[in-house]
Amino acid sequence: MNFVWGFLLIPLLAICVLPFLSMKGKAIAVYAVISSIAILTGTLAFQGLAGQNFALELPGSLISGSIELRVDALSAWFILIIDFTFLTGGFYGLFYMKAYADQPTNLTLHSILFILLHASLVSLCAIQNSIAFLVAWEIMALSAFLCVIFEHEKVATIRAGINFLIQSHISILFLMLGFIWVASQTGSYDFSAIHSYSMTHPGALSLMLFLFFFIGFAIKAGFVPFHTWLPYAHPAAPAPISGIMSGVLIKIGIFGILRMLLLIDLDYTVVGIVILILSIISGVYGVMLAILQHNLKRLLAYHSIENIGIIGIGIGLGCIGLGTNHPVLCSLGFAGALLHTLNHSLFKSLLFFTAGNVYQATHTLDIEKLGGLVKKMPQTAILFLLASLAICGLPPFNGFISEFILYTGLFSWLQQTQITSLIGIIVTVSGLVLIGGLALICFTKAFGVVFLGNPRHVFHQEIKEVPFFQLLPLYFIAAFIVLIGMFPTVFLEMLIMPVQLFTGLHQLPFTSFRGNGLEVLASVSQAGWCLVALVLLLLGIRKLVLRKRNVTVLPTWNCGYTAPTAKIQYTASSFVKSYSKLFGMLFLIFKKEKEVEGIFPTVAHLETRPYDKIEKWLIDTPTTNLRVFLGRFRFVQNGRLQFYILYGILFIVSVISIPILYDTVKQFVEFLKEL
């Protein structure tokens, strides 16, 4: 109980005190609160991973009934990810948000919302009551919305925030329908009622109930076709919030899906196939659209959709393993999904934070205007490169580990499968391979165009590296990316208890990941680091040999060109021109160009803007049709007083006549019955 009082009182006291503190005091207070919450909840989480579940029953109210809090192994894993991301993102934000020191009111509100967002996300992992869960979910949605629109003077930011808010409430609507369904049948708002209801109503009803919850959580997670809010909200938010949204906010959707899989008794094979298909589409579609983007944070946002697809593939494989009584596939599927949840929170938050560094230095995220930043911001460039290698699933970094686990699960399924499942295995493997290959293209473009080559635009301000303390949390994240790649078994052992929650549903034999073909992970990681060491050694030898020689540096395009210019470098558009032509039918690409005249044209312009076809079909077209339909009734609002008086008279007549008409119809029906 002391834990609950501490969890409630510390944020409340801070929120009351924050408006009266100086800017420096606000920063210290916010980070102290985040750290305190992380210590309190992290302690319970480590106990949960060790098998010591925390449970507490609060009195609640007459409507909600008692409210149970429980931290099991699944909750513990997500709480630790949330705490780590907020600790690093909060520390990074202490220095990033200094650029907005001239907006004290905005920063005060932002600080309060940051605390509420952290507290609500952690609460969602422990609450076991429907009403309390929805309240915490609403606090999370509103605080995230207000964090997104921090720069509310920009029209695009407001539009992105409203888009996020509307779709967040569509998510809440589906969750509410699911909870009301269960409560109306059981009379209880406790999560245990969901389990008891599914046990007494197996089959189609349980599947329909799961679909309500799945859609609600999938909107928050960003699965295709529920992803359309994500590419707008992530770029609009300040970099610390972008990293947290991609790192943990969308992961609460993954947590919700996993929690419902534990509560609802289902045909796991059918559910697994549905999730697997949706996840492959999400992964491939997300990375295909990411390649076309010219805004750096928007590019990263589409990669969040891709990685949610990879996590979903793991969940789908785990469900199929449950349904087909395949313990290796089940354990490796869920382990891969859970580990990739951690991995994605690490390298994606690092990518967004480095993108924030680029934005603060250049005041733009337009990839077409960037170039040569490795010379001005070498540390940011190295950190971005490391995170790029990790997100592409290359050894010896953490992304390789979780994807290798999924591949291992697929090959174990292949050894014991029937011919009917072979097509699914081939499609899944092909999807993962395609996702990895396209991710390589995307980040080769992103890193090459942004950091290599020569500047493509003249900036009026000096471009320089951000302060060391702003880079410090980024190095801390990078260290974990490296550690997971070097010592994967340590983190896999931490996943034993969470995975056992799922294998225990059908009592599948699972106690450890040893013997499942994962022994090769350590060898691959060691070989990868030997290669890295060899490259560093060769670079050291080269530097040693050249230290006493005169090295001449010339422009890249100095040879063979009469009129060299930085504009003849590859741009973001030209780098993927072949790709966009090959897959152009899948996307909407708008072009704006000015014809080139002469050998050395003075004016030339080509601009491409990719657009999401699914967004056009599911959002734009229905919205346009609705506006056209409502536009037919504009004559009602004509501004004439006589008509408004007439509307009032008609309303009064309707109020009087409807009851009379009802009684007349009722008497007529009774008369007919007597006849």
Name the domain boundary from 466, 485, 507.
507
Question: Given pLDDT bands bounded at 50, 70 and 90, which one contains residue 555?
Answer: low
Q: Examine the pLDDT at 557 and tell me if it is beyond 70.
A: no
Together in a domain, 84 and 207? yes
Together in a domain, 501 and 604? no
Name the domain boundary from 457, 474, 507.
507
Query: CA-to-CA distance for 81 and 50, rounded, in angstroms?
Result: 16
What value does the mean pLDDT take over residues 248-273? 94
| Contact assessment for residue 3 and residue 44, using Cβ atoms and an 8 Å cutoff | yes
Q: pTM of the predicted model, to two decimals?
A: 0.91
Together in a domain, 476 and 581? no
Give the end-to-end CA distance of the chain in Å, rounded to a whole number: 70
Per-residue three-class SS string for 13-51 = HHHHHHHHCCHHHHHHHHHHHHHHHHHHHHHHHHHHHCC
Together in a domain, 101 and 219? yes
Together in a domain, 134 and 174? yes
Q: What is the pLDDT of residue 558?
A: 57
Per-residue three-class SS string for 341-362 = HHHHHHHHHHHHHHHHHHHHHH
Q: Examine the pLDDT at 520 and tell me if it is beyond 80.
A: no
Together in a domain, 114 and 172? yes
Q: Total domain count for the chain?
A: 3
Give the structural domain span for 597.
Answer: 577-613
pLDDT tens per residue, range 144-160 = 999 999 999 899 999 99
Query: CA-to-CA distance for 142 and 136, rounded, in angstroms?
Result: 10
Together in a domain, 583 and 665? no
Residues above pLDDT 90, as percent of the chain:
56
Q: Is residue 56 part of a domain?
A: yes
Together in a domain, 84 and 155? yes
Q: Examine the pLDDT at 309 and tell me if it is beyond 70.
A: yes
Q: Is residue 530 part of a domain?
A: no
Q: Is residue 595 part of a domain?
A: yes
Q: Specify which of 20-29, 527-536, 576-585 reaches the highest per-range mean pLDDT.
A: 20-29
Name the domain boundary from 507, 533, 559.
507
What value does the mean pLDDT take over residues 532-540? 88
Together in a domain, 91 and 210? yes
| Structure-model confidence comparison of residues 63 and 560, the more confident one | 63
Identify which of 258, 237, 371, 360 has the alpha carbon closest to the alpha carbon of residue 304.
Answer: 237
Buried b (16+ CB within 10 A) or exposed e, 34-58: bbebbebbbebbeebbeeeebeeee
What value does the mean pLDDT take over residues 5-30? 87
What value does the mean pLDDT take over residues 433-441? 94
Sign of CA dihedral 192, 196, 199, 203: negative
Together in a domain, 454 and 593? no
pLDDT tens per residue, range 158-214 = 999 999 999 999 999 999 999 999 999 998 999 999 999 998 888 889 999 999 999
Q: Examine the pLDDT at 407 and tell me if it is beyond 70.
A: yes
| Structure-model confidence comparison of residues 197 and 646, the more confident one | 197
* Average pLDDT along the chain: 88
Question: Given pLDDT bands bounded at 50, 70 and 90, which one contains residue 2?
Answer: low
pLDDT tens per residue, range 68-106 = 999 999 999 999 999 999 999 999 999 999 888 888 778
Q: Examine the pLDDT at 599 and tell me if it is beyond 70.
A: no
Report residue 514 as tokens. Answer: 């040893």
Q: Is residue 163 part of a domain?
A: yes
Q: What is the pLDDT of residue 168?
A: 94
Q: Is residue 378 part of a domain?
A: yes
Together in a domain, 319 and 462? yes
Together in a domain, 587 and 488? no
